[in-house]
Amino acid sequence: MALLAAATVPMLAVLAGERIAAHAVHGKNVTSLLGRHLFAKAGLIDAPPRPHPSPDPVRARLEEHLDLAYAPIRGVINRAPREIRGVLALYYEACLQGPCVPELRRAIPWSEPLNDVLIQVGGERIARAPLNYAKLTAMHYRSLWTAYKLRDPDTTPVLNAFLASNRPLPFERDAFALSPQDTLEFRPYAPVRYMQPVVTSIGWLTGGFALLGLAAVASRRRLPQAVCVASLASLTAHGGLLFSVLFAAGISRFMISLWPAITTAVLFGAWWTLGGLFHFRKRGEHTGHIAGQLLRELPPQE
C-alpha cells in the first residue's frame, strides 16, 4: 500500500493542483479541450443518426454536421489503402477540432456551454457506434508506433498517388492548408525503412512485458525484480499511450513524455533477457563439463 501510494499520490496531486489553479485563475470561464476532441472523433466514425433532432438549434446544427457535412471525410478515409488511413485521420481529426467546424471558428469557441454541447453531441454519437470508435482508437495506436509515417518510403508513394487521384479532397483547404492550384506531395526518407523495425520491436517487447505483468498479478506470482520493473514501466507506457489515443489523435510527439518509461522497460527487459541467456549458457557449459568427466571415467570398451 505504501508503494502504491508513493506511485499514485504525486500524479493525483499534479492533476488536482492544475484544476485548483485553473479555477483560481479563470473562475467560471475555465473549460477544456474535451469537447473538441470528442466531437472530432465522432466526425470520423460512421454511426446511425440520432432518432430525433435536438430542439436546441446549436446542438441540432452540430449533429447535422456530423451526419452529413463530414460524411465525405469518412468516405475518403474508408476507401483509402489501409497503410495510409492513419495519416489521413491525423489531418482530418485535427481539422475537426477547429478549422472544419464553423461554430469553432467564431468568437465563442472557449465558452463552457459550447464545450458542454460538443461533449454531449460527440459522446452520444460515439456511444451509438462503440465498435467504430474502438477501430479508430486502434488505428491511432498503430500510428503512435509508426516512425515518420509521412516519409516512410514504402507508404509515401501510395499516399501521394491516392491524394493526387482524389483531389479535390473534402475540406482540403482547412485540413491540408491547400488551394486548388497547390500540389500535395510527401517526400520519402530512406532511413525510415531501417528505423521502423526497431520501433516495432520496442512496441512488441514492451507490450509483452506489460501482458506478463498483468498475468503475474492475476495469477499472484512473483516476478524477478528486473522483470517487475520492466513490466511496470511497460504498463505505464502503454497505459499512457492508450489514454492518449482514446481522447486525441495518434500524433507521434505524444510519445515524448513516455519515452523514459519505454526506455526503462527496454533496458531492464534486455538486462533480464541477456542475464538469462548468459546463465543458460553457463549452465550448459557446466553440464557439458560434467558429462565429459563422466565419459572419461568410463572403462574402455574392448
pLDDT in tens, 64-91: 999 999 999 999 999 999 989 999 999 9
Report which of residues 87 and 105 the model is more confident about.
87
Q: How confident is the model at residue 209 (pLDDT cuts 50, 70, 90)?
A: very high
Q: Return mean pLDDT, the chain.
A: 85
d(CA 143, CA 86): 6
Q: What is the pTM of this model?
A: 0.81
* Cell triple for 206: 514492451
CA 242-247-250 angle, to 5 degrees, is 60
Look up residue 66 and give its DSSP letter: I
Residue 202 has pLDDT above 90, yes or no: yes
Flag the least confident range among 50-64, 127-141, 216-230, 283-297: 283-297
Q: What is the mean pLDDT of residues 122-144?
A: 94
Burial 149-186 (b: 16+ CB within 10 A, else e): bbbbeebbebbbebbeeeeebbbbebbbebeeeeeeeb
Q: pLDDT by residue (tens digit) across 228-272?
A: 999 999 999 999 999 999 998 888 888 888 999 999 999 998 888
Residues 159-170, mean pLDDT to the nearest whole number: 89
CB 209 within 8 A of CB 257: no
Q: Is the per-residue pLDDT at 108 higher than 70?
A: no
Interval 195-219 mean pLDDT: 91
Q: Cβ contacts of residue 292 below 8 Å, gap of 6+?
A: none
pLDDT single digits (tens) 264-285: 999 998 888 887 666 555 555 5
Residue 123 confidence class, pLDDT cut points 50, 70, 90: very high
Instruction: Tell me the C-alpha distance between 293 and 11, whole Å.
Output: 59
Would you say 252 and 143 are in contact if contact means Cβ atoms under 8 Å apart? yes
Q: What is the mean pLDDT of residues 116-143?
A: 93
Cβ atoms of 54 and 63 within 8 Å: the answer is yes
pLDDT-based confidence at residue 103 (cuts at 50, 70, 90)? confident
- What count of other Cβ atoms lies within 10 Å of the Cβ of residue 214? 13
The confidence score (pLDDT) of residue 279 equals: 59
pLDDT at 107: 44
Q: Has residue 154 got a pLDDT over 80?
A: yes
- For residue 237, which amino acid is it? A
Which residue ranges make up each domain of the chain? Answer: 29-146, 191-284
286, pLDDT greater than 60:
no
